[in-house]
Amino acid sequence: MLQLGKLSIGIGDRFAHQAKAQLNAFVQAAEQGVDVVPVWNKSNREHLTIGSEPRSVREAADVAVKELSWTKPFHVDADHIRLDTVDRFIPHSDFFTIDVADSIGQLAGANAVQAFVNRHPELAGRLEIPGIDQPFETTRATVEQIAARYLLAVQDAGKIYRRIAEAKGAAPFITEVSMDETDNPQTPPELLVILAAISDEQIPAQTIAPKFSGRFNKGVDYAGDAGRFETEFQQDLAVIGFAISKYNLPDNLKLSVHSGSDKFSIYAPIQRSLSRFNAGVHLKTAGTTWLEELIGLAEAGGEGLALSKEIYREAIAHVDELCAPYAAVIDIAREKLPTATEVDAWTSEQYVAALRHEPNCPAFNPHLRQLLHVGYKIAAKMGRRYLQMLESCSEAVSRNVTTNLYERHIKPLFL
């Protein structure tokens, strides 16, 4: 089995131009004595929007690794794949995020639920989990309810896992099971039932992405009660530690935090929790790098700034269409968005100050930031024109990409 390191960050590179700038942030962490594993991730949806192929993610990663002489581990994640989308990722990925959120709540057969509950009498009664002060009380009926809700999803994950394993043959890979894109956070007993079922399905999951409470909006800070998040996160860590020994799961199994970029107010709670439980984490980021590309273009001035303004103009003209697919993961107050004419009059400094994620800067505008986050489709439509601008402004762009990952993400989380 391929082992995922203790600390890892998922990085997204929508236009396949920033892998080296991203990797530089990991080089800087290594120079400070902290090993963080880079995992380039791209979902099927992103590939469809950009018009790219899974092969391109592997190729960009390989080039960056070679140019920076990176000899430590790195991976390429087929993000949020399902049975109908996994095949074209298989030759190019060594990390698979199996997304079964859509199967949650669909009924597994009554026999399957009964068989599960019979196999796991230990799940009913008083559950004492080291690291959680209060024991949980469950009954056979509550375990049945939980199993009825999640068993089919885990069985589907098993099918996808076996499909990958068969196609991969002897080539090792890392498996993540994700259940984050659903309405309600899982409780600790639910997570325990899910992990028992994952073990029954013989899925060697190394990361699991539950749903957490609060909002994980795209490219902006966590919206919710950070204290409550910390309690929930620690309970999840406790359940995972318990399940590893109880159900013989991979001993490096850890939490995966999706939409993890820019969640500054929960990084200190995550760091405290990891050190309390001596645990690792996988934190997924993606679109934050695309926003740094825009910041770099704006900072470069001239044609770069003009293009970043053009992208805003298009974004505001298509605001409904751009926001609709992301309604659950953005909170934009339309009246807080500047008009295209206002933005056209901005200097480089004004554009950068509105977009760069510095929550204490008075000019920072989280509404504009979220709109541009979901606006990458516009740059995709520009095609070569956008890519050429990235290349001619590469100094400013890559500097911003590296700084954002290292200073605003890796440092507060892991250093």
Binding site for Zn ion (CB under 5 A): 180, 258
Other CB atoms within a 10 A radius of the CB of residue 387 amount to 14
Q: Using an 8 Å Cβ cutoff, are 177 and 210 in contact?
A: no
Cβ-based nearer residue to Zn ion, 180 or 292 = 180
Cβ-based nearer residue to Zn ion, 20 or 409 = 409
Amino acid making up residue 183: D
Cβ-based nearer residue to Zn ion, 300 or 330 = 330
- Give the HSE-up count for residue 326: Cα atoms under 13 Å, Cβ half-sphere: 26
Minimal distance, residue 304 CB to Zn ion, in Å: 31
Minimal distance, residue 258 CB to Zn ion, in Å: 3
Minimal distance, residue 41 CB to Zn ion, in Å: 9
Minimal distance, residue 108 CB to Zn ion, in Å: 23
Residue nearest to Zn ion (CB): 258
Cβ-based nearer residue to Zn ion, 258 or 409 = 258
Cβ-based nearer residue to Zn ion, 207 or 308 = 207
Minimal distance, residue 219 CB to Zn ion, in Å: 14
Q: Is 219 left (phi over 0), alpha (psi -120 to 50) or beta?
A: left
Minimal distance, residue 30 CB to Zn ion, in Å: 26
Q: Using an 8 Å Cβ cutoff, are 9 and 393 in contact?
A: no
Minimal distance, residue 309 CB to Zn ion, in Å: 31
Estimate to the nearest angstrom the gap between the alpha carbon of 229 and the chain centroid.
17
Q: Name the packing angle between helices 384-392 and 288-300 (round to 10°).
A: 70
Q: Using an 8 Å Cβ cutoff, are 81 and 44 in contact?
A: yes
Cβ-based nearer residue to Zn ion, 258 or 408 = 258
**Cα–Cα distances in Å, from 120 out to 71, 112, 150, 241, 267?**
44, 12, 15, 18, 36
Q: Using an 8 Å Cβ cutoff, are 51 and 150 in contact?
A: no
**Cα–Cα distances in Å, from 172 out to 34, 91, 100, 158, 168?**
25, 12, 22, 17, 7
What's the token pair of residue 129?
């989990």
Cβ-based nearer residue to Zn ion, 47 or 356 = 47
